[in-house]
Amino acid sequence: MNKMRSFAAVYNCGIIYFNDTIYSIFIEKYMNCPFCNTTDTKVIDSRETDDGKITRRRRVCEKCKLRFSTYEEVALLNLSVIKKDGTSVPYDKAKISQGLIKALIKRPVSEEKISTLLSSIEYEIRTLEKSSITTKEIGKIILKNLKKVDQVAYVRFASVFKSFGSIDSFKKELDNLDKE
């Protein structure tokens, strides 16, 4: 088995909040202001998460003066993702975050928790030390981690991922949640 090689590359993940609930999550290689898109932003605060895996930066846009946070961490490279139809595409963190956006939208989950969630998911993928992974395997890892963070988001994600064939299978999933 080919061991995955990883390179240090910085990606940014930003989360926009309105009234303490998540409005949107975005990931970009270069950070622009999410409101007016200017590249002219200034770092006003910088700190690492407890485990040192992520650096959180608080930024202010020089143009529209709005504030937002970005997260920088080592990205997973040289990993291919095998889709349902058997074709493979390069691993793309933005796709994971898009799935999370849909599940977490309007949920009261803190910025800290989301950045930790994203990094736990990637950490788990990285520790598999594989050169390829199926979308199904990724989905399972996301579900496992999401369950610990927010049960509503978990059910939302599960309903898309598992594409419940019937109301009964959906109910069964909810019953399983209650038991835990």
Output 40 or 51, the one with its CB closest to Zn ion: 40
Output 39 or 78, the one with its CB closest to Zn ion: 39
Write 149-153 long-range contacts (CB < 8 A, 24+).
149/109, 149/113, 149/114, 149/117, 150/103, 150/104, 150/107, 150/109, 151/177, 152/107, 153/100, 153/103, 153/104, 153/107, 153/109
- State the minimum distance, in angstroms, from the CB of residue 99 to Zn ion: 27
- State the minimum distance, in angstroms, from the CB of residue 106 to Zn ion: 23
- State the minimum distance, in angstroms, from the CB of residue 125 to Zn ion: 33
Q: List the end-to-end C-alpha distance of the chain, in Å, as a whole number.
A: 36
Q: Which of residues 1-40 bind Zn ion (CB under 5 A)?
A: 33, 35-36
Q: Which of residues 38-67 bind Zn ion (CB under 5 A)?
A: 61, 63-64
Output 53 or 63, the one with its CB closest to Zn ion: 63
Is the Cα dihedral 2, 100, 163, 168 positive or negative? positive
> Given the rule CB under 5 A, which residues bind Zn ion?
33, 35-36, 61, 63-64
